[in-house]
Amino acid sequence: MATNRTFTMIKPDAVGNGHIGAILNDIIQGGFKIIAMKYTSLSDEIAGQFYTVHKERPFYGELVSFMSSGPIVAAILEKENAVEDFRKLIGATDPSKAEAGTIRNKYAKSIDANAIHGSDSDENAEIEGSFFFSAFERF
C-alpha cells in the first residue's frame, strides 16, 4: 500500500546557488505539505551512512564528499502518492534528461550535483525520514 509521505533533501549545489526558496515554492505548489524540515549539514560519516545503499557504486566516494560539501535542507513531505509524485516533480537523476519544468531541469547542473533528493520507495521514505527527524519534530 502506498503511504502518503516522502523524504527530500535540497542538496549543497542548490543551497549554494540560492535556490532554497524557489525549490520549496515548487514543492508547495506541487501539492506537498511540509511535515518536518531542517537546515543542517552532513559530515562525511553521516552522508556515508545515508547513502550506504550505494556503497558498491563507483561514484560513492564522490557522492559522499559532495553531500557533505555544504549545508542542505532536509524535509518530510506529505501528499497522496507522495513517493511517485515527488519523483515526477524532481525529474530524472541526470538533469540533461530531466523533463522541462522539473526541479532538476531548472536548478541542477550535472548528475552528481543534481539539486535534490527524493526517496525511491515507501520503505526508504520511512527509513530516511527517521534518519533525520524524531517523532517530536514532525507536525
Is residue 120 at the binding interface for ligand GTP, with CB under 6 A as the rule? yes
End-to-end CA gap in the chain: 23
Q: Which helix (H) or strand (E) holds 8?
A: strand 5-10
Is residue 78 at the binding interface for ligand GTP, with CB under 6 A as the rule? no
Sites for ligand GTP among residues 24-63 (CB under 6 A): 54, 59, 62-63
Determine whether 117 is an active site residue: yes
- The DSSP secondary-structure symbol of 55 reads T
Is residue 120 at the binding interface for Mg ion, with CB under 5 A as the rule? yes
**Is 57 labeled as ligand-binding?**
no
For residues 26-39, one letter each, b for 16 or more C-beta atoms within 10 angstroms of the residue's C-beta and e for the rest, the string is bbeeeebeebbbee
Question: Which member of 111, 121, 122, 126 binds ligand GTP (CB under 6 A)?
Answer: 111
User: Is the sign of the CA dihedral 113, 118, 123, 129 positive or negative?
Assistant: positive
- Choice among 117, 125, 132, 133 that is catalytic: 117
CB 83, CB 122: distance < 8 Å: yes
Is residue 122 at the binding interface for Mg ion, with CB under 5 A as the rule? no
Q: By CB under 6 A, which span of 12-20, 75-83, 111-119, 128-136 interacts with ligand GTP?
A: 111-119
Secondary structure of residue 59 in the 3-state scheme:
coil
Task: List residues near ligand GTP by CB under 6 A.
Answer: 54, 59, 62-63, 93, 111-112, 114, 117-118, 120
Q: Which residues belong to the active site?
A: 117
